[in-house]
Structure 1
Amino acid sequence: MSQTILVTGATGFLGRHLVERLLACETDAVLRLLNFGPCPFPPSERLEIVEGDVTRPDDVMRAVAGCARLYHLAGVVSRNPRDKWKIFDVNVDGTRNVCRAALAHRLERIVLVSSSGTVAVSKEPVVHNEDGGFKIEVVGRWPYYLSKIYAEKVALDFFRRHGLPVVIANPALLLGPGDEFGSSTRDIALLLEGRLPAIPSGGMCFVDARDAARGLVAAMQAGRPGERYLLGGPNWTFRQVISRVAEIGRIRPPRFELPLEFSLWSARVLRRVMPLVGRSFPLDETTIEMAAHFWYADSTKAATELGFRSRDPMQTLRDTVSYLRQRAAKPDRLDSVS
């Protein structure tokens, strides 16, 4: 008898790659997708679509009924502080609804997809693992990452109090092909368009979305409940990332690396001046501040316990550039999504 696996957030960048991976490797399973909006996948006897929203408890309870396992990816990705309440409503309260429904229906295993930014970020170029604790003192001003911390706290509370078999996966910045809405690759797109004004002073860890999807499946199969697993690739400075993308894309990269204080001052000035000449400044102050930090992650635990591996990062960058240029040629541009 086939099992039913529920996936929330299947229309997102990582969600699409996860569904493709599950269709390939879970050949005896039926995938149920809790969808808020049009389904991007072709009709299949192995796909069930349940219309609903993770912020509505009844929708979640109905979607979870009859399932054995659950991947919870649904969330709002935004750097805009004005989206704070929407972010918390979906990312935190939605996670609480999912955990309650999973507990009520006694699911075998849940994988909660969080972010490496909950535990792997600092002002200095330090590589973090899962043991360093939440970095609230760093990300507390940024609603998206703060919401991910609170979502993890909700899930871990259900694990400790009720024995909910939840495993947490923390992917680094997702790159690679398929970012339909530009939620993860927008800054690379800005670089390719010649709209990145300077080199940020920080650094990043990134992971191919296809490898992250494999990591989620491995977390479902071998992850320990109550544990988190960082899923990342290389830890590079932004200068290294930008120079390599520029080489692949055959473009001229920005020359200058600006200190954070000057970058913030410049952003405030340019945001006022550029509309006077019919142009907009592409970066907000939150993005600039975040880019002055180091988002370095150590995936040794995932490699050891889950067998996680990330591919050649240059191949990921090549595939990202290729996809973004194909997307840029289409009429519905990435610029409309932040």
Structure 2
Amino acid sequence: MILVTGGTGLVGSHLLYKLVSENEQVKAIYRRTQTLDRVKHVFSYYTENYQSLYEKIEWIEADLNDVPDLELAFKDVNLVYHCAAFVSFEPDKYYLLRTVNIEGTANIVNLCISNKVKKLCYVSSIAAIGHEPNPNQFITEQTDWNPEDDNSVYAITKYGAEMEVWRGTQEGVPAVIINPGIILGPGYWKGGSSGNLFRLIHKGLNYYGSGSSGYIDVWDVCDIMYQLMKSDLVNERYILISENLSFNDFQTKVAKTLNVKPAKKVATPFVLELGWRLDWLTSKLLGKRRKLSKQLAKSVRTQSVYNNSKIKNALQMEFNSIDNSIDKVAKFYLKDTKSI
């Protein structure tokens, strides 16, 4: 029996479709009933038989910090995909991020230990990997994390969650950690998902960041997770990116696919420094949620290039091209937009 946490998120919903399509026995954790419709919607992208596939899943209402409910979810489970996380770059969400991402992962790891789970797959992020001062230097799985850097609150808590997973490996739970780049996939067009980028670009952006990052689509992520859990590979972490792209190249490609104009102005350091300070002031005076933190302003102008050779060599695989991934996601976005 397989347990998936975060089953109603972007990765979790697509992973569930992959697992039930492979006739695996699956349990999935959810927190709010209304989020279950998202999973059905994702399934409906790929088959008219989505309802019967969806009904193969044993759904369990549980919170990562509610241990008694989690204990029930772990009954008869031997493989765990831990996809659940809270995504936010707002500094005032730090303690909530710790509660969900670190303490919640610690609970999952402890239950994996006590239930003698055969293998755990944890979905981390490239945010939890260190930075290279030289923008031309590839970031790898061995790049050191520097706790003295001005890391985002999200990155800090994802790194802390990884430490809980590594603790679990020392206490007898074989595990793999994946560090995906920006995950492109359909069905989640608002909030912290990359789908929000498609929505914002479609609405029209004024500025683009001068930095770069790594990208991968959700279908590659789920295929890799499945292959890793089927393999003998344990106690390793893997960077998952298909391609490194500048933010300008990415938003230009998306805009072209959506048939809208891309942003033409680069967000200069001055604009970003001014922007995050005004955002902070607005938050303090009006109580509005932060949209641009100091760390996020730094990130969008940082050149980061990632090396994906470890996972390619481990699984002898090739990634989907980002051009094809963008085209595929954009078509789903336009379809969903017309139906609203």
Give the TM-score band, short-chain normalised.
0.7 to 0.9
- Which position in structure 2 is the counterpart of 1:143? 153
Q: What is the TM-score of this pair, normalised by structure 2?
A: 0.85
1:183 maps to a residue whose letter is G
Sort the Cα spacing of 1:75 and 1:270 in 2 relative to 1 into closer, same or farther, 3 A: closer
Query: CA 1:138 to 1:224, structure 2 compared with 1: closer, same or farther past 3 Å?
Result: farther
Q: Is 1:298 aligned to residue 307 of structure 2? A: yes
The residue identity in structure 2 corresponding to 1:320 is V
Q: Kindly report which structure 2 residues correspond to 1:1-338, keeping only aligned pairs within 5 A, or say none.
A: 4-25=1-22, 27=23, 29-38=24-33, 39=36, 40-41=39-40, 42=51, 46-119=56-129, 121-122=131-132, 124-138=135-149, 140=151, 142-160=152-170, 162-185=171-194, 186-194=196-204, 196-222=205-231, 224-266=233-275, 268-269=277-278, 283-285=291-293, 286-329=295-338, 331=340
Question: Retained in 2: the 8 A contact 1:87–1:143?
Answer: yes
Q: Residue 48 of structure 2 corresponds to which residue in structure 1? A: none
Displacement of 1:250 in angstroms is 2.4
Q: How far did residue 138 of structure 1 move?
A: 4.0
Q: Distance in 2 between matches of 1:193 and 1:288?
A: 21
Question: 1:301, CA displacement in angstroms?
Answer: 0.9
User: Residue 335 of structure 1 aligns with which residue?
Assistant: none
* Percent of matched pairs sharing the same residue: 22
**Quick check: 2:208–2:248 contact (8 Å CA) kept in 1?**
yes
Distance in 2, Cα, partners of 1:127 & 1:178: 32
Return 70-79 or 185-194, whichever deviates more: 185-194
Residues 57-110 of structure 1: CA deviation (Å, up to 9, x unaligned): 222222112111010011101121121111111111111000110110101111
Shift of 1:121: 4.1
Amino acid paired to 2:129: V
Letter in 2 for 1:75: A
Asked whether the 8 Å contact 1:120–1:296 carries over to 2, the reply is: no
CA distance in 2 between partners of 1:281 and 1:21 (Å): 35
Offset of 1:151 from its aligned partner? 0.4
Contact 1:7 1:33 in 2 (8 A): yes
The question of whether the paired residues in 1 share the 8 Å contact of 2:131 and 2:145 is answered with no
**Corresponding letter in the other structure for 1:76:** F
Given that 1:126 and 1:294 are in contact with CA atoms closer than 8 Å, whether structure 2 keeps it comes out as no
- Structure 2 unaligned blocks of 5 or more: 41-50, 283-287
- Deviation of 1:176 (Å): 2.6
Distance 1:139 1:323, change over 3 A: farther
Q: 1:179: how far off?
A: 2.3
| AA of the residue aligned to 2:20 | L
| Structure 1 match to 2:46 | none
Seen in structure 2, the aligned counterparts of structure 1 residues 214 and 35 have a Cα distance that, compared at 3 Å, is same
Unaligned stretches of 5+ residues in structure 1: 274-279, 332-338
Contact 1:202 1:237 in 2 (8 A): yes
How well do the aligned residues superpose, as a CA RMSD in angstroms? Answer: 2.5
Distance (whole Å) between structure 1 residues aligned to residue 182 and residue 69 of structure 2 = 30
CA distance in 2, matches of 1:221, 1:180: 31
Normalising to structure 1: TM-score of the pair? 0.86
Q: Per the alignment, do residues 178 and 136 of structure 1 end up closer, same or farther by CA in structure 2, a change over 3 Å counting?
A: farther
Separation of aligned partners in 2, 1:6 and 1:313: 30
Q: What is the identity, as a one-letter code, of the residue corresponding to 1:203?
A: S
Structure 2: how far apart are the matches of 1:88 and 1:48? 28
Q: Give, in angstroms, the shift of residue 328 of structure 1.
A: 3.9
The 10-residue stretch of structure 1 (105-114 or 289-298) with the greater mean CA deviation from structure 2: 289-298
TM-aligned CA deviation for residue 30 of structure 1: 1.2
Partner deviation per Cα, 1:163-195 (whole Å, 9 max, x = no partner):
21111111111113222544222233212211x
What are the Cα deviations for residues 276-334 of structure 1, in whole angstroms up to 9, with x where unaligned? xxxx9995234332211234221111111123432121111112222333444455xxx
Mapped contact 2:131–2:144 kept (Cα < 8 A) = no
- Quote the residue 1:277 is aligned against: none
Residue identity in the other structure for 1:111? C
- 1:19 deviates by 0.4
Query: 1:270 and 1:100, CA in 2 relative to 1: closer, same or farther beyond 3 A?
Result: closer
1:200-243 CA-to-partner distances (Å, cap 9, x unmatched) read 11101110011111111112122632210111111011121122
More deviation, 312-321/37-46: 37-46
Once residues 30 and 66 of structure 1 are traced to their aligned partners in structure 2, the CA distance between those partners, rounded to angstroms, is: 11
Change (3 A) 1:259 1:184: same
